[in-house]
Amino acid sequence: MISSNDLSTNVTIEFEGEIYVVLEFQHVLQNKTAFVRVKLKNLRTGSTVLKTINNGIKIPKAMIDRLSMTYQYNDGHFYWFMDNETYDQVPIEKKNLENELPFLVENQEVEVIQYKGETLGVNLPDKVVITIQKTDPAIKGDTKTNALKDAYLETGFLVKVPMFIEEGERVIINTNTKEYVSREK
């Protein structure tokens, strides 16, 4: 159990029958009443909610397992991941990976999140290396400014990249901001 006073970012809790991770929290004292205002992400549905929790309330902490796995393939409905230690394969429904799909490529190592044997989703690294599948060639003279152009990743996701990036190049993308960082070194 954890006290509502001890909530902090990235703590996972069981609250109102669901499993949440704390995204933001704020301790508030209003009219001599103390409470905590929290923004929570539901680990089953991916939705976010704002909740107010009274001061000093005990909340069960959710013990989340984080397993190192490799993304193998998808069959249209499920994405299959292989445990790097046991070689067991775990399916995850496509709807549970909507935010991760733009950066998920075969043979990529990820962190699969489980709670009491229930697979909840995937944590990608903050930065991934991915290939540019399609982009327009640079126009002479445009490479001296910070101009950006559209580029499609091998997953089909559209990002803005500098003019000097060409098709087939491997680039580093920030999975949190969904933006170009640099070329692969």
Q: pLDDT tens digits, residue range 20-55?
A: 989 898 888 888 888 889 999 888 887 889 998 888
* Delimiting residues of CATH 2.40.50.140 domain(s) in the chain: 65-123, 127-183
pLDDT in tens, the chain (185 residues): 888 888 888 889 999 989 998 989 888 888 888 888 999 988 888 788 999 888 888 999 999 898 999 999 999 889 999 998 999 999 998 888 888 899 999 999 999 999 988 888 888 888 999 999 999 887 666 555 678 899 999 999 999 999 888 999 999 999 888 999 998 87
Q: Which CATH architecture describes the domain 65-123?
A: Beta Barrel (2.40)
Distances from the Cα of 4 to the Cαs of 20, 57, 59, 81, in angstroms?
Answer: 14, 5, 7, 35
* Delimiting residues of CATH 2.30.30.30 domain(s) in the chain: 2-59
User: Distance (Å, rounded) from C-alpha 54 to C-alpha 146?
Assistant: 49
Topology classification of domain 127-183: OB fold (Dihydrolipoamide Acetyltransferase, E2P) (2.40.50)
Q: Please tell me the pTM assigned to this model.
A: 0.74
Distances from the Cα of 125 to the Cαs of 55, 169, 173, in angstroms?
Answer: 35, 20, 10
Topology classification of domain 2-59: SH3 type barrels. (2.30.30)
Residue 103: CA count within 13 A, CB half-sphere: 23
SS3 label, residue 101: helix
In the prediction, which pLDDT does 143 show? 54
